[in-house]
Each structure stands twice: as structure tokens, then as C-alpha cells.
Structure 1
């Protein structure tokens, strides 16, 4: 099945270039081209697509405003001439951020990232799932910078009001995000909510008792309402 793509850009040469790139990749298909975000918003309300290529600076409504307006978002690759919006884009969970002029090699890296995301979500064998997870990563905005974190390195995530602290094997970082968002985006076979304030990496559990879970030298609380789900995962 082909990956359905929507192009949104008010510059015809940019649309033509991305169209040519997409046509060179066998498993991609252009289903529509829109020259402004308002048109794209209306189109997305009635048609489901897989991948949205989106410019930022457009008249009447920006690409970032379009992302914020969408409830059920496809995976999004931003294509723009402006580097300064990268942190905002990744804060909105875009898949990739391409700066014009976009080379074909850079375009292919973005498509590889999309395929990698799909493998992680849809792997139908343990071998595929393990390989995809080893390569999977997310971007987080930390102190006005964008940080790349590999999922395999995450030990646990702690909620701190409107922020989360992501603790990895070698560092900890704090980013503006909700724990519920992280719970939704992380693969459920690798991560588990154990408390209203904590998500842990299942493979890093070293032990537990009735109230605490031991993980990488830390003791984290096991919430009463999460206990049944935890015990089911550890097969008790």
C-alpha cells in the first residue's frame, strides 16, 4: 500500500520540486496539492492521509497554525526557508524539518525516518520490532535548543506539573510536555505508566515490591490504580 502524501506550499517551484522527489520514490503517492493552509485544513477534514509536507510562512494562516488546529494529525514534514522555527516545529511533534532548498538526499532521510516510525508502530515480528526500537528517537525542546533522545536510552520519565523530566542512561533533561502525551507516543510494549507521575522502560525493571519498583538504582512509586496493569505486564 502506498504512502498517501499531501503537499502544502504557496510557492509553485517548491511544490514542483517536492512532487518530483515524491515521484522518484516508488511507495509514495501524491493525493493533493494545496497552495495555502486554509485549503489544506478543509481538505484534511474529509480525507485521511499518511504524510503531510508543509510550508510554514503562508498568507492568512501559517503552517504551524495549521498543525495546532488539527485534532487528528498525520505525520508531518515541514519544508521551509526559515531555520528559526525548528524548535517550534519539533515541539509540535513534527517528524522532520527540511530547510529549503531541499536536496534529494535530505528528502530521503526524512522518508527513512517516516518508515522507521512505521516499523516501530507496526512491526509484525519481534525481530523487526527490536531493530526498529534500536534506531527510534524523538526530539525535545530544552532551553531553546532541540535535543535528540533515543528511546532505547530512556530509563524513566517523571511528570513535573506541565513539564516532564526524561532520565536516560547518561543524562536527564526537562522539557515542556505532558506525561499523557509521552504515554501516547511511546511504544506500549516498551514503556509502562506505573503512577500518575511516572512512566518507566519495562526492560530496565530490576525488581519490585508492593509499593515500589526498582529501576537502574532508583526506587519509583507504584500507584494503586496502576498496580493491576503492572502485574499483568510482569506476568504475576
Structure 2
């Protein structure tokens, strides 16, 4: 595939949050290590698992049944409290500023209160459309989250582009009918390609937006760290 810029035409942008718009790894580790220490689990093991799995899965793996709800409640409080450790990824603020209000939203597997806190902690706006774990019955890689996001934005899935950093997220968006730009950093380029990404970028700043008559023209700059050859 050509390694030069890729142009995608759409009417809306749907973005994952963790690993796509923000670097929240330090916040995740801090929050879950605190929960593990409180409940007598291995902080390093729990924190490492939390970087790759959803909160209920972490609770189920590391804590006894009678402790799991407490672990989830404690992780929610700790995650919100650690939001100041979250940093916007390069170019994220400029990308969001270039897209008109109502033409973008976020689709995430995380909990609403946490993701809202992380966006604010990173100095990024909280969109009107924010699809979180509470809003769907089936999370990524199921298409439901992105179908819901497109519905809330009032566009057909084929008229939207997703930004994702995980193969599960890419598969979710592709199954919903969206085109996908994969953001490197969390997973290998080959994994994002295999999941169906249409293009890759090093960071959100690799996507430039031009707006005309309600149409978004995305110019996607090929990453320096991986080619599309």
C-alpha cells in the first residue's frame, strides 16, 4: 500500500479515548495498584492487567466474588482521582479543535465518569456524544458501540471515520461499517492492519482536517514508525 498521505472523506469522526487521544497508562496503573494494595492483591500484576482489560475482567481475575464490587467502586474513585496524570497525545487538541461541534464523538469501553475526568485532565473537550460501557450491552469488538455513536451523531456508519489504537476497537468500527485510522503506540502496526485499519498514524496529530459544507476531508499522514509497504 502506498506510504504517502491517505485522504478520507466523511461527515463525522468517532474516536476512542485511552491510547488514541490520551496517554492514561500512568493513571490506570496508579488507580489499580491502590485498589490491589487495599485488597491484598499483587499491585504490579493487577496494574499490568488493567492496562489491557476492562475493569470487570480485572476484578473477576484478581479478587474474590465478595470483593469484586468493592474493587470496581474503589477503582472508579481512584481512576477519577488520578485523572491529573493523564496527558493528551500529540496533536489531539488540534485535531478536535478542527472538527465542528456535533461532527465528532468518543466511543470507549471505559466508564463514563472516568473517561470524562480523563479528557478534562488532559485538557481536551468532552463531546456531546460519548458512548461508554454504560451505554451498550456488548462492548468492542462487537459493532454495537460504533453503531450507537453513528446513530447519536445522525450519520450513516459509512459516512464516519473512527480513530482506534487496539485491534478490538478497529474490528468494532469495521464491523459497524466505518473506515478506521489506527493510532500506533499501544499495539503493533501489523496487528492494526490485520484487524482492518485503512490507514495508520503515529499520533492523532497525523490526521489533518479540512471542513467544507459539512464534509470533513481527512488527510492522514503515514507514520514514521511503520510503513504500509
Q: Which of the five TM-score ranges fits, normalised by the shorter chain?
A: 0.3 to 0.5
Structure with the larger helix share? 2
What is the TM-score when the length of structure 1 is the normalising length?
0.34
What is the TM-score when the length of structure 2 is the normalising length?
0.35
Higher relative contact order (CA 8 A, sep 6+): 2
Structure with the larger strand share? 1
| Higher CA-based Rg | 1
